Amino acid sequence: MKHGLLCTLGLIVLGLVVFGTSLAEAQTTANGPYYATPSWDQQLPVSTRFIILSNWGSAAVLDRETGLVWERSPSSSGRIWDNAQSSCNVLTVGNRMGWRLPTLQELLSLVDPSVKTGGLFLPAGHPFNNVQSSTPYWSATTSAHSTNLAWEMSFGVYYVGVADKTQTSDLVWCVRGGQGVDAQ
């Protein structure tokens, strides 16, 4: 009886060691496919936080802290808010659809507040291209004060504010995954 119980416990421990190790390695060291386990409770170094998705033609970036997939090169054309939403909805990047306008909180998750004035408020060594510093980016977050206003932010002067959805032509940076539109 003792021998059978000991053997059973030994097999369980061996299974945990073998399978537990391989699962952890698949998430942290695999070249692809890429599995994003969001780590909002961790601060990952840029070298391991962002993964350029080569199987998406290197046109998208996985943020392992949030589990979000971002366009590697956001649009440099300004649009009113409805057109910004539409452009993400029909976007194809890396032969994949399903893109959307990010929430304000998702845009802010990219900000590195330790960056000094004069550069983009993105982590040093980030893999993104074409991020503009002078024009804000739309968020999907509508203002709680007026449905005619949406939150916007700039990566060049670290500005966060609201703008009129029908009169402002902000930039668009589409994202996949995450919580989606919030109704603030």
Q: If you write DSSP's letter for every residue of 100-146 in order, what string do you get?
A: BPPPHHHHHTT--TTPPTTS-SS-TT-------SSS-EEEEEE-SS-
- Please give the pLDDT value at position 114: 86
Alpha carbons 159 and 7: distance in angstroms, whole number: 62
Residues of the chain with pLDDT under 70: 1-40, 180-184
Contacts of 146 (CB under 8 A, 6+ apart): none
Residues 151 and 85 in one domain: yes
| In-domain check, residue 39 | no
Residues 51 and 26 in one domain: no
- Please give the pLDDT value at position 45: 86
DSSP string computed for 160-171: EEEEETTT--BB
| In-domain check, residue 99 | yes
Identify the domain containing residue 25 by its residue range: 1-30
Residues 8 and 66 in one domain: no
- Please give the pLDDT value at position 115: 85
